[in-house]
Amino acid sequence: MNIVYLAQRVPFPPNKGEKIRTFHQIQYLAQRGHHLHVFAPVSGDEDIRLLQELGRRHCQHTGHAPNPGRISYLWGLLTGQAISVVNFYSRSLQQQFDALLARQPVDAIVCTSSSMAEYVFRSRTLRNAQGARPVLVMDFMDLDSDKWRQYEELKGFPLSLVYRREARLIARYEQRIHETFDAAMFISQAEVDLFLRHNPDLGKLHVVGNGLDTDTFRPATAPKPAKGPVMLFTGVMDYLPNEDAVVWFVEGIWQQIRARYPDATFYIAGMNPSGKVQALQKYPGVIVTGFVDDIMEYFDKAHLFVAPFRIARGVQNKVLQAFACGLPTITTSMGCEGIPCRDQEHVLVANTLEQTLEKIDWAMTHPDAANRIGQNAAELVLRDFSWDGKLAALETILGRR
């Protein structure tokens, strides 16, 4: 099949949530002999280079155009459009996409996130097509409208008004996609159920979960540091759910942790730390790394993985990575979403800061039991989260009409 991917961000290298998911889909389909064409907005020369590298590895064609940037936020507000839609829309990329559709047959079009549907809705080539059009597939991944709703609840005026507007507009946009596209994918059944609270079941929704590269993420073979505990959080650190999680944790209970465990260290490892995240280094024992070449260095020396999410949608790759590394993991119920794990068997669930502190104390006073939980989690990932297994239904979905 000839398959077009309209990617919200360049899906290479696979080093963050949505990029990991889209890259593995592209790689999976290319390995099965399909022809891939990938279009994405870019933010500079490095994005262009990475897209070209993806093309050399797995694609017949790639196209790109500059991301409109923050000026699009104002345009969205003035025109009554969702900001996250106009932020990823480029007329130049639209022209490239339409030109490909005009010069060769395409069997399926996959949009990675709701914002990329705009290229389908505005396509003159698709509107004017004679005969059968390509199968249209939306990879919602998470339910974006609910994420904006969570942002609204967390932030005060005036940002709460902007987030409320975005939640309303994106919910309406998701409904339009559901009615127009032939199939839609979510990362977990919980996301599907949430979507169906406000939308009819048209028989188009599919759960395609995330897998994990267990060749890279694996339990440490060397001994852990004698002093500690060493705790870890990983992720893109200007992303609001990640920023909120570490700020809430450190400002709320880190001083109590250090009073009990004077050698405790908390590594916040990930690219683009925001000012709020960098400011956490004023607390003794908190280390903000920024981008790291080898994240496994930090997984290997950590005793505990801590993911205190107050905002989240879908499956958290970082939690799966911690599981695969055999780390006892303390997270909220949100951090467990879409993962068939059980409290005290695969994970330590803590929904408040007080519970988080209790679970840290328990792990430190029951190290053998905590390590067994980490081992159980690693076995769960090996059993249930191979990429080939998760993507087995993808070709069938792309062939749906």
DSSP 123-191: -HHHHT--SPPPEEEEEEES-HHHHHHHHHHHS-TTHHHHHHHHHHHHHHHHHHHHHHSSEEEESSHHH
Q: Examine the pLDDT at 254 and tell me if it is beyond 70.
A: yes
At 383, phi and psi to the nearest 5? -80, -40
Q: What integer pLDDT is reported at residue 17 of this predicted model? A: 80
Mean pLDDT of 309-317: 88
Mean pLDDT of 134-149: 94
Q: What integer pLDDT is reported at residue 75 of this predicted model? A: 73
Domains and CATH numbers, the chain: 2-211+387-398 (3.40.50.2000), 230-384 (3.40.50.2000)
To the nearest whole number, what is the mean pLDDT of the chain? 94
Q: Examine the pLDDT at 303 and tell me if it is beyond 90.
A: yes
Q: What integer pLDDT is reported at residue 157 of this predicted model? A: 83
- Specify the pTM: 0.85
pLDDT range class, residue 128, cuts 50, 70, 90: confident
Mean pLDDT of 73-79: 76
pLDDT range class, residue 400, cuts 50, 70, 90: low
pLDDT range class, residue 72, cuts 50, 70, 90: confident
Q: Is 32 helix (H, G, I), strand (E, B) or coil?
A: coil
How many C-beta atoms lie closer than 10 Å to residue 360's C-beta?
26
Residue showing tokens 């191979």: 386
Q: What integer pLDDT is reported at residue 116 of this predicted model? A: 97
Q: What integer pLDDT is reported at residue 69 of this predicted model? A: 73
CB 25 within 8 A of CB 391: yes
Mean pLDDT of 34-48: 97
pLDDT range class, residue 401, cuts 50, 70, 90: low
Mean pLDDT of 211-230: 93
Q: What integer pLDDT is reported at residue 68 of this predicted model? A: 80
pLDDT range class, residue 127, cuts 50, 70, 90: confident
* Contacts by 288-295, CB closer than 8 A, 24 or more apart: 288/237, 290/237, 295/234, 295/269
Residues listed for the chain: 401
On the CB side of 232, CA atoms within 13 Å amount to 25
